[in-house]
């Protein structure tokens, strides 16, 4: 058992930013574990551009964006162990890790940053009926094959779900010579960013079929086709609207799920709306000294936001490791108001707010000419107007830290969206 200040679990954008920030905040003894052989998480396979517009005011590819942080990690001499799987995290912050190089080891950490990212929803979770042939893949798996390993998972493709990875992969498969027949979305709106719908589907004449779903998969050995049907307001297929697409591949981009198996092992409380840990404004979970950031906390649209959030988690973990003081539990509960789902953080300690507080959430539906308002104990403290809000784009409202001095002892903060 080795004593250490901070263990960071995951070497994707969240873990990298947390590590850099913790080091810059003065933490000497930290260690980052990454499962893969290389750092960067999912970014090395995201070879399209669009990363870094906020953080660097530049348009970078995923590997370029990751490399800036990897270079920084190396420059700061932060110890990193790739090819290492964390098997267990306990409530008293003992981390068990295994790797071929170092075998099985245990660390007792003063603070832990959970940065494990997320996984993709699968065909099984959607319960799509039909045959079970080869050729049904999640979009991220296909992306890894095409972009990192140079293999084509299909030639004639239908994409179910309009999540960003699916949209990006529609364009990517076209570039590589495949035919993308359609992108099929259950909801009446795209779940991806508007810019991706325009740049990846519209520009390549790939039809986006809203309010449609895949109701059957054909082909005994390899996919030979799928049946697509329109859905009604209850999202149930409408009989008589079925059409068959002859394809050899079905890619799924139907949602991301935070990977919180280790969080659960540590006894961290999870929120239903985000499927990630319940955190306070310092990104500390319900377990003292365990912090969470990035897609393990809640699924983001933009890596730039992951970086911002994770740097904050890194600073907070460093402060915790330094003082290890038992802090008062956060008293101000954050609640999803009308039209709002999954506000992060879920609680704020008004007495100790150290930085401006970003409230991040998704609207429950599409709102035009919308107003997002924040109330503390029914007093409106912030209000922002938006031309359009959609569930596919996360909303961020930032409250200045000075604000909270006025609300010591307050009980409830509510975020709501109205048209």
Partner 1 sequence: MTDVIVIGAGVIGCAVARELARFSLRVVVLEKARDVAEGATKSNSAIVHAGHDAPPDTHKARFNVMGNALFEALCRELDVPFRRNTSLVAAFSPADLHALEELKARGDKSGVPGLHIAKRSEVRALEPAIGREVCAALVAPTGAICCPYELTFRLAENAAANGVAFHFSCGVRTVAREDGGWRVETKEGRSFKARAVVNAAGLYADVLNNQVSAEKLTITPRRGEYLMIDKAYAGSFRATVFQVPTPMGKGILVTPTVDGTLMVGPTAENIADKTDTRTTAEGLAKIRQAASRLWNGFPVNGVIATFAGLRAHGDRGDFVIGEPPDAPGFFNAAAMDSPGLTAAPAVGAYLAEQIAGKLGAEKRSDFVAAPTHWPVFRSMSMEGRVAALALDPAHGHIVCRCENVSEAEIRASIRCRIGARTLDGVKRRTRAGMGRCQGGFCTTRILAILCEELGLAPEEVTKFGGGSHVLFSCGKELPLP
Name the residues that contact partner 1, by CB under 8 A.
35, 83, 85, 87, 98-104, 119-120, 122-125, 127, 129-135, 137-138, 140-141, 144-146, 149-155, 176-178, 215, 220-222, 237, 261, 264
Of 165 and 332, the one with the shorter C-beta distance to partner 1 is 165
Looking at beta carbons only, is 103 or 240 nearer to partner 1? 103
Q: Shortest distance, CB of residue 261 to partner 1, whole angstroms?
A: 8
Q: Smallest gap, in angstroms, from Cβ of residue 95 to partner 1?
A: 14
DSSP letter for each residue of 260-313: -HHHHHTT--B-TTTSSB---TT-B-SSTTEEE-GGGTS--S-HHHHHHHHHHH
Q: For the chain, what is the radius of gyration of the CA atoms? A: 22
CB of 187 to partner 1, least distance (A): 17
Structure tokens given for 259 = 């990977």
- Per DSSP, what are the bridge partners of residue 324? none
Pairwise CA distance, residues 304 & 278, whole Å: 22
Contact status, residue 292 vs residue 283, Cβ threshold 8 Å: yes
Q: How far is the CB of 251 from partner 1 (least distance, A)?
A: 12
Find, among 113, 89, 94, 106, the residue nearest to 267 by Cα.
89
Task: Please tell me what DSSP assigns to residue 45.
Answer: G
Number of neighbouring beta carbons within 10 Å of residue 47? 16
Least distance between partner 1 and beta carbon 247 (Å): 13
Q: Which residues pair with 184 in a beta bridge?
A: 160, 209
Tell the smallest beta-carbon distance from residue 191 to partner 1 (Å).
17
Q: Which is nearer to partner 1, 123 or 298 (by Cβ)?
A: 123
Instruction: Considering the complex, state which of residue 270 and residue 403 has its C-beta at the smaller distance from partner 1.
Output: 270
User: Which residue lies nearer to partner 1 by CB, 96 or 371?
Assistant: 96
**Whose CA is closest to 287, among 310, 257, 317?**
317
Min dist. Cβ of residue 263 to partner 1 (A): 12
Write the DSSP symbol of residue 289: T
By C-beta, is 56 or 131 nearer to partner 1? 131
Phi/psi of residue 333, nearest 5 degrees: -85, 135
Q: Which is nearer to partner 1, 52 or 154 (CB)?
A: 154
Nearer to partner 1, 126 or 347 (CB): 126
Q: CA torsion sign, 175 to 65 to 359 to 267?
A: positive
Query: For tokens 């495949």, what's the residue?
Result: 178
Q: How far is the CB of 10 from partner 1 (least distance, A)?
A: 12
Residues sharing a CB contact under 8 Å with residue 124, sequence separation 6 or more, in sequence order: none
Q: How far apart are the first and last CA of the chain?
A: 56
Decide: 359 and 297 in contact? Cβ < 8 Å. no
Smallest gap, in angstroms, from Cβ of residue 79 to partner 1? 18
Whichever of 229 and 353 has its CB closer to partner 1, that residue is 229
Q: Which of 185, 194, 192 is nearest to 228 (CA)?
A: 185
């Amino acid at each position: 058992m080795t004593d250490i200040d901070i263990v960071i679990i995951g070497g994707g954008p969240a873990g990298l930013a947390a590590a850099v920030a913790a080091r810059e905040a003065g933490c000497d003894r930290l260690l980052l574990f990454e499962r893969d052989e290389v750092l960067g998480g999912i970014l090395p396979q995201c070879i399209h551009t669009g990363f870094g517009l906020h953080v660097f005011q530049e348009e970078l590819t995923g590997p370029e964006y990751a490399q800036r942080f990897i270079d920084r990690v190396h420059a700061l001499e932060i110890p990193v162990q790739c090819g290492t799987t964390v098997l267990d995290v306990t409530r008293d912050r003992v981390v068990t890790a295994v790797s071929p190089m170092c075998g099985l080891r245990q660390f007792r950490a003063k603070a832990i940053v959970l940065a494990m990212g997320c996984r993709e929803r699968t065909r099984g979770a959607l319960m799509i009926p039909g045959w079970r042939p080869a050729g049904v893949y999640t979009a991220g798996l296909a992306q890894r094959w095409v972009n990192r390993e140079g293999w084509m998972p299909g030639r004639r493709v239908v994409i179910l779900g309009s999540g960003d990875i699916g949209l990006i992969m529609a364009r990517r498969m076209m570039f590589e010579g495949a035919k993308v027949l359609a992108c099929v979305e259950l909801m009446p709106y795209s779940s991806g960013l508007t810019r991706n719908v325009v740049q990846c589907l519209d520009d390549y004449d790939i039809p986006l079929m809203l309010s449609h779903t895949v109701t059957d998969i054909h082909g005994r050995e390899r996919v030979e086709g799928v049946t697509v049907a329109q859905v009604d307001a209850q999202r149930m297929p409408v009989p008589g609207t079925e059409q068959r697409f002859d394809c050899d591949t079905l890619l799924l981009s139907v949602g991301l799920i935070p990977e919180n198996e280790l969080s659960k092992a540590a006894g961290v409380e999870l929120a239903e709306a985000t499927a990630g840990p319940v955190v306070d404004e310092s990104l500390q979970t319900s377990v003292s000294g365990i912090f969470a950031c990035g897609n393990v906390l809640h699924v983001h649209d933009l890596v730039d936001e992951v970086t911002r959030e994770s740097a904050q988690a890194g600073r907070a973990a460093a402060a915790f490791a330094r003082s290890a003081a038992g802090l008062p539990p956060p008293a101000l509960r954050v609640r999803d108001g009308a039209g709002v789902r999954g506000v992060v953080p879920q609680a704020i300690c008004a007495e100790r707010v150290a930085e401006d507080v970003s409230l991040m959430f998704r609207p429950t539906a599409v709102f035009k000419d919308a107003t997002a308002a924040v109330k503390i104990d029914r007093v409106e403290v912030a209000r922002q107007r938006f031309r359009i809000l959609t569930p596919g784009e996360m909303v961020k409202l930032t409250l200045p830290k000075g604000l909270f001095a006025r609300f010591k002892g307050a009980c409830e903060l509510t975020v709501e969206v109205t048209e």
